[in-house]
Amino acid sequence: MASSELLNEFSKARQMDQKAFLAITAMLNSFPQQAATDSETLLKTYSAVLRDISSQAITETAQRFVTGDIAKQSKTFPPSVAEFVQEARLIEEILPYRGRQSLPPPNRDTYFRRDDKPTRIRMGFKMSVLSASFAVKDGADMVAQANKGGLEHLIALGQQWGVPVPEELWAQLKTAA
């Protein structure tokens, strides 16, 4: 069967443009031919299973197989119809997202707290006391109770457990009194 006749047959089986047909043909021709391959039947099979896939996805998939850009593909043999269809579906899924503007970078001010230095010092001390509480039975409950009592109670608990108290924290305690 002549190439133009094959193109006509292929186009009747599915409304696929010539570019997609030629891409598949070029892909199949870029691999060594097997003696038992019936090109006409193979192309009709591609046509039937690719009915819902866009020509652009088919063309890109064929080009990716020819250039060896498909992970775990055989570099010696053409893909099976199932392998080709699976890859074409993946490409079809990403096509609508191409050309879209990417998301803006995150605004760090909304993700990270910008507490003042005294607050950071208090929070750092509280975390140290909480870390020390893991070695004490019911320690977390004791930290929660001390936290309710205020900074003075938290410092006392920290000292009891051997947590160093920053100088800046002593200054905060004097200012609060």
pLDDT band at 4 (very low <50, low <70, confident <90, very high): low
**Contacts for 72 with CB less than 8 Å, ≥ 6 apart:** none
pLDDT in tens, 69-84: 998 888 888 898 999 9
pLDDT in tens, 77-126: 889 899 999 999 999 999 998 888 888 877 766 666 667 888 888 899 99
**Contacts for 30 with CB less than 8 Å, ≥ 6 apart:** 66, 78
Parse the chain into domains and list their residue ranges.
3-97, 108-176
- The per-residue pLDDT for 87 is 95
CB 130 within 8 A of CB 123: no
Which bin fits 39, alpha (ψ -120 to 50), beta or left (φ > 0)? alpha
- The per-residue pLDDT for 160 is 92
DSSP 124-147: HHHHHHHHHHTTSTTHHHHHHHHH
